[in-house]
Structure 1
Amino acid sequence: MTTTSPSYTERVTVVRAADVAVPDLGVVLVLTLAPEDGGDRPCTLGPAGLAHLQRAVDDADRRARGGEIRAVVLTGTGRTFLAGADLHLIRTAAAAAEVRELAEAGHRVVGALADLPVPTLAYLNGAALGGGLELALACDYRASDPSVRAIGLPETHLGLLPGWGGCTTLPRLIGPDAALTVIVDNPARGNRTLRPADALRAGILDVVLPGADGPADPLAPALAWLRSVVAGEVTPTRRGQLSEEGWATAVEARRPLAEARAAGGAPAALRALETVATARTLARAEAFALEDDALVDLVMSDQLRAGLYAFDLLTRRAKNPAGRPVDVAPRGVRSVGIAGAGLMAGQLALLLARSLKVPVTMRDLDDDRAQKGLAAVHAQIDREVAKGGLPEEDAGRLRPLLRATSDLADLAGADLVIEAVFEEMEVKQRVLAELEGVVAPTTVLATNTSALSVTTMAEHLRHPERVVGLHFFNPVAVMPLVEVVRAARTDETTYATAFAVAQACRKTGVAVADAPGFVVNRLLIRLLGEVLGALEEGTSVRDADAALRPMGLPMGPFQLLQLVGPAVAQHVLVSLRHDLGERYPESPGLAAVVESGRSLVLGEGRPSATSPADLSVGELFGSRRTARPLGPDGLLDRVRRALAEETALLLAEGVARDAQDVDLAMILGAGWPLHLGGITPYLDRTGAAEAVTGSRFHEPGVASLPRNAR
């Protein structure tokens, strides 16, 4: 059940130095960051790369003081300016001394760059993230190509903080409020980054320059702008410093968010906030030492290692899904059919037409339902245009691709047909049988079922080998996961096609076996079932609502139940109890909620994480009251143990290939917090895995500190 500790060798970034003669300025030293192997990977810095850069900056200092050069330009190559510190080295660091040396080495380079006695310009010709932006902040000026796609400090999203000067330099440059937007707010908003125009408005950039005329001299605009600055023809705007009150206001505005995240197991934002506040009055060396201390504390924690493990899943495994056939070509998909025209069918139709750019036809039982479904899709397109998310030109190309019909024969030419009808086995079997009677023998038949057996759906078909599960999550446009379900007789070509469709839709496909609830719903319903079971035993709604907060989930149990829909949750709970046994409990209280139509939360409209639980709904529960019902701590422990048991069972049954796929599915399909590393590192860290199963899901060092960390 365990996975082994990672091993890693630094992918070294080198510095290419070149002298460029600029009229009316003199010799400019251009330092270009590049991969040592000459590839196009994003550049990062570890000890060897920092040593290369330190030598280059030291040599620039010597030459500048000797009058050999008049300015220095720092730039990148390939897809990045610089993507920051090498996270894989951080993830495998076994000693605090290693981390401190990396932090101090970064600060030495940043300090040396800032102290160069000639004007310095960072020219961002690619993404500048984390330590990459911090290097740019050490320069006198910052310019960017307009095509750069990402500028930012994402460290707190990963469980770190900007530790190479970001907490010190950026607030002093652009003011604390704008700086904390970049350091704390944006990472908390789905790791948002800035485009050059945004960074210019924030004061991070001095100028966004037009692209060069051809590849022969890509630095020409940057060099010309630098010459004009040195000549006094252009004076970059500098923001003034805020008062002490202004700093305090900016810091305190973020404190509730940072403290809430810390309480949920993510301390990085709060530590960054405190570092920014304290560094304001310190000399540079003292402020950098404060960043070093904070970085070491964060890196030498299980929470950080879990977060980096999850980040690695999202950046590596998600792009190359385990279990996807690699030696089999997928079928081409030139047209798509959707069986159904309801809410989920409409979402699928819009996604597939937009992603695959092929005709998509929805089919329902009569023309009224079909046309109503098509109208709903067109209305969604109109909303996207109105919000600016879809250009009218693209919408004009998209609308003709979408059709609706009541004639089953209109799906005959589709290469892929997805059924999205009512979640009942008999209904789905009948629909698939009808489809098989009209489509070509090579047509892939997919089901969007969230929990039912795909094998059972296909068992009476003539060609069950071309049936596969494609479980998209609601809302389809937003949720990044697709559980790709292999039934007993699904063939390789069908399975490869399913993964190709998910990839074309910019979704992450996770291979799952055909088992009740697959991965995400099986674990989510087990979690909710434990909460519902405790309510039946007498736990109060107030205690149940508070119990799971330390897990840091995006929603509490009552908000999630209301979002999913009590009737849907009840249906799946009953189904899983039937298929998997009594560990999925009966809940007369939930049935009463469904029957009465009551809401589990207060407020109108779509529930959110902040929707208060309706405490009065507790009167519907309590069918199995015990003498000592669980409080928050007891229920949290019960949920952890239940999840450890269920995760171990689904792995033993081969529902998921390994713990990494379980984590990937829960992060992308259930919003399991990135900083927890997914569900299995959390269960390891809290001791639930060993308490229930006798072993961990991962060896120490995979998603936690190494066993002998110092």
Structure 2
Amino acid sequence: MADTVSVTRQDGVAVVWLDNPPVNALGHALRQPLHAMLEKLRADADTAAIVIACKGRTFVAGADISEFGQPPKAPSLPDVIALLESIGKPTVAAIHGNALGGGFELALGCHYRIAAPDARVGLPEVTLGLLPGAGGTVRLPRLVGAREALGVIVSGKPVNAEKALALGAIDAIAEGDLVAEAVSFARARAEGGGPHVPVLKREEKIEAARNDLDAFEETAKAATANARGLTAPLRCTEAVRNAILLEPSQALAREREMFVELRDGEESAALRHLFFAEREAVKVEGVGKDVAARPVRHVGIVGAGTMGGGIAMAFANGGMRVTVLEVGDEALQRGLGQIEKNYAGSVSRGSLSEKDKLARLARIRGTTDYTDMSDCDLIVEAVFEEMGVKRKVFEKLDEVARDGAVLASNTSYLDLDAIAAFTKRPSDVVGLHFFSPAHVMRLLEIVRGERTAPEVLATALSVAKAIGKTPVVVGVCDGFVGNRMLAARREENEALLLEGASPSSVDKAFTDFGWPMGPFQMVDLAGLDISWRHRQSQGLTAPVADSLCELGYFGQKTGRGFYRYDEGARKPVPDPFVEELIEAKSRELGIERRAIGAEEILERTMYPMINEGARILEEGIAARASDIDVVWVNGYGFPRGKGGPMFWARRHGIDKILARLEYWHGVTGKPVYRPARKLVEAAAAASW
């Protein structure tokens, strides 16, 4: 036997130990010796029962993703589970830590499952664009019911031991030593005789589902309502439906076929790319494991507006004490009131308990006195995006903050080095660019200033993890990564309108691609006045948008923008007035209108964005192309199933993008189309 599998014996019970650090992934190095050991124990007359247990911090946490795309090696995981299920002796999985994906499917191949109190089980394959491919969609419905199994599989979210027991996914929760209790459980079942019915042959829950297919279809419709063009949730639903309607062998065969189709498809490749990209993003040059983060227990927030309130909630949700500062009591109370309203909304939707709401509110207090920030470990500035305002805040923070406190700016565009220079401690200054709503959106751009200390970056990364954010470290430039590329993407929006497109045709090209909404819907949601103020500060113009703003049409909040919004509604309705306004502007500027198709719309919006991403790599603002993908998927709604703009560009063809940029640069002469040097190099190499 290989070192990854060993066995100990306790009065006729064989404990099979799996040991494949760090998470006991089910690669070939574990599957092959496990299969051999199970064959040996099946034939061993002295073995009355078998317990599967794992060494290290967890049970089997899943398959070995690195094997995807490589020639298969026997035995496969379905082979191992089929062998396990064929053993007539009672088999018990002793689960601690996480039993996820293939790990949980292995446990489902046992007759029984016992878990430690802090264990979690689940089938998260859908998050990688897959479905469980080793029987999970066929066995779990037979344990917990088809509708309940569908919820676990399509959400991809693990469940804790208590819920797993209530569902019927496990048989017991250990009260003491997990393996000792699993051995006792196995021995008792062996002494009790049998039969020991494999999960695959349990029919009670499946028969109930067959008798109420309408209820299953209702659950399936709700579970896939937010699939947003992703295929995997739909295939997961199909597989569970097959578990109800087909013979087990047929359902297993079809499950495996769909797994292979998904594994070899674009969607799964994109989602696996993001899986690794998010883990790679936290590896920052100069911030090794030897760089210790500063402890953060008390966080100060300057500004109680929309962003400040959301940031305060993010830290309170992470268990930290928060002090929110405003210049006047009226603004402070308005901000605190909005925080309470947001939490109350979560309670009414059922996503937060009343007890948790009160606990989180108790962590937040307000003040109008800067000296109340003097014992904060981290202070985040979230005030108006104007350098003079930032200067006053940071000069004041420099006076009152304790030595070693991290001073952070939530700026989305401004020069962090200039902000740091307002203090006598620039090494303690970092950018923490949250995305609205800050307590919901996952992305956190961590802006590394020229003098930001390594331990301050380590602190920012540690804090991001503590509050459930996905961090990406970026350099200093106008707009950093996300907003700088967004500016390039929207550069041609007005030109498209003036040349013949409509807001709805542009937005449809985006939603057909997979975006949750198009650029004109997005600006209506955010408010046209925000970008209007920014243009005015930069001396820029946008003929259509400026005209709408001059009329007081700021989007959803005023009921009119690029679209019309009926009273109280959020659904955009095309507005004939806006179309007439666009046509009038075209005539005024002497632009002849023409039909513009979806392909041209995407070329003139997405290709400049990718070109700007290449410039960002060229300048070292982002360390990796995959970091840019993490930013855009988690902060700007780029379709997860396409992996982010830089990944999509590589799959789509960087050479093709280069050729079309050169074409449009020749037609328009606009700088936004001038190919970046890094893009030219990447086109030649077919990779970033």
Q: Same fold (TM over 0.5)?
A: yes
**Contact conserved, 1:177 with 1:247, CA < 8 A, in 2?**
no
2:164 to 177, 193, 199: 199
RMSD (CA atoms): 4.0
Q: Which residue of 2 aligns with 1:565?
A: 527
1:28 aligns with 2:13: yes
1:456 aligns with 2:424: no
Q: Which residue of 1 aligns with 2:601?
A: 635
Q: Which residue of 2 aligns with 1:271?
A: 235
SS at structure 2 position matched to 1:82: coil
Please give the TM-score of this superposition, normalised by the length of structure 2: 0.82
CA-CA distance at 1:86 after TM superposition: 0.6
1:127 to 83, 91, 98: 98
Q: Deviations over 1:665-690 (max 9, x none)?
A: 22332243433222211122222565
Counterpart residue type for residue 193 of structure 1: P
2:48 to 70, 76, 84: 70
Q: Which residue of 1 aligns with 2:76?
A: 105
Counterpart residue type for residue 14 of structure 2: L
2:482 to 515, 520, 542: 520
Q: Which residue of 2 aligns with 1:482?
A: 444
SS at structure 1 position matched to 2:59: strand
Q: Within 1, Cα distance between the matches of 2:567 and 2:24?
A: 48
2:107 to 136, 142, 146: 136
Q: Within 2, Cα distance between the matches of 1:342 and 1:628?
A: 44
CA-CA distance at 1:448 after TM superposition: 0.9
- Distance change >3 Å, CA 525–CA 252, structure 1 → 2: farther
Q: Which residue of 2 aligns with 1:241?
A: 207
SS at structure 1 position matched to 2:205: coil
SS at structure 1 position matched to 2:609: helix
Q: Within 2, Cα distance between the matches of 1:565 and 1:288?
A: 51
2:32 to 39, 48, 51: 51
Counterpart residue type for residue 14 of structure 1: T
SS at structure 1 position matched to 2:18: strand
Matches within 5 A, 1:372-391: 372-377=334-339, 389=352
1:418 to 380, 385, 394: 380
Q: Which residue of 2 aligns with 1:86?
A: 64
1:169 to 120, 123, 139: 139
1:117 to 82, 85, 88: 88
1:367 aligns with 2:338: no
**Contact conserved, 1:525 with 1:569, CA < 8 A, in 2?**
no
CA-CA distance at 1:616 after TM superposition: 4.8
**Contact conserved, 1:81 with 1:126, CA < 8 A, in 2?**
yes
- Distance change >3 Å, CA 14–CA 389, structure 1 → 2: same
Matches within 5 A, 1:243-322: 246-247=212-213, 250=216, 254=220, 261=227, 264=229, 266-277=230-241, 284-314=248-278, 316-321=279-284
- Distance change >3 Å, CA 215–CA 353, structure 1 → 2: same
- Distance change >3 Å, CA 218–CA 575, structure 1 → 2: farther
Per mean C-alpha deviation after superposition, the further-off stretch among 663-672 and 645-654 is 663-672
Where does structure 1 lack aligned partners over 5 or more consecutive residues? 1-11, 22-26, 704-710
Q: Within 1, Cα distance between the matches of 2:620 and 2:509?
A: 31
Q: Deviations over 1:583-641 (max 9, x none)?
A: x998436635754532547467695xxx4554557435453464324233321233331
Q: Which residue of 2 aligns with 1:445?
A: 407
Per mean C-alpha deviation after superposition, the further-off stretch among 343-352 and 124-133 is 343-352
1:341 aligns with 2:329: no
CA-CA distance at 1:51 after TM superposition: 0.9
Q: Deviations over 1:356-397 (max 9, x none)?
A: 744x43332223323443454456566667867467489469
Q: Deviations over 1:513-560 (max 9, x none)?
A: 111111122233443454454234331233223211243234443443
Q: Alignment length, in residue pairs?
A: 652
1:158 to 119, 128, 131: 128
CA-CA distance at 1:88 after TM superposition: 1.7
- Distance change >3 Å, CA 690–CA 649, structure 1 → 2: farther
SS at structure 2 position matched to 1:484: strand
Task: Give percent identity, aligned residues only.
Answer: 33
- Distance change >3 Å, CA 416–CA 178, structure 1 → 2: closer
1:217 aligns with 2:180: yes
Q: Deviations over 1:183-235 (max 9, x none)?
A: 33x13xxxx22223433444433x233422x5783535643764686479999
- Distance change >3 Å, CA 488–CA 378, structure 1 → 2: same
Q: Which residue of 2 aligns with 1:182?
A: 152
Q: Within 2, Cα distance between the matches of 1:166 and 1:500?
A: 35
Q: Deviations over 1:424-447 (max 9, x none)?
A: 222222322343344456544321
Where does structure 2 lack aligned partners over 5 or more consecutive residues? 659-678
CA-CA distance at 1:134 after TM superposition: 1.8
Q: Which residue of 2 aligns with 1:18?
A: 8
- Distance change >3 Å, CA 492–CA 168, structure 1 → 2: closer
CA-CA distance at 1:647 after TM superposition: 1.0
**Contact conserved, 1:446 with 1:467, CA < 8 A, in 2?**
yes
SS at structure 1 position matched to 2:620: coil
**Contact conserved, 2:532 with 2:549, CA < 8 A, in 1?**
yes
Counterpart residue type for residue 634 of structure 2: L
Q: Within 2, Cα distance between the matches of 1:116 and 1:42?
A: 26
Per mean C-alpha deviation after superposition, the further-off stretch among 271-280 and 426-435 is 271-280
Q: Which residue of 2 aligns with 1:5?
A: none
Q: Within 1, Cα distance between the matches of 2:294 and 2:126?
A: 42
Counterpart residue type for residue 639 of structure 1: T
- Distance change >3 Å, CA 559–CA 593, structure 1 → 2: farther
CA-CA distance at 1:409 after TM superposition: 4.0
Q: Within 2, Cα distance between the matches of 1:256 and 1:237?
A: 25
SS at structure 2 position matched to 1:19: strand
- Distance change >3 Å, CA 522–CA 590, structure 1 → 2: farther
Q: Which residue of 2 aligns with 1:678?
A: 644
Q: Deviations over 1:118-147 (max 9, x none)?
A: 233333333222212222222333343332
Q: Within 2, Cα distance between the matches of 1:634 and 1:671?
A: 21
**Contact conserved, 2:407 with 2:430, CA < 8 A, in 1?**
yes
2:23 to 42, 53, 66: 42
SS at structure 2 position matched to 1:548: helix
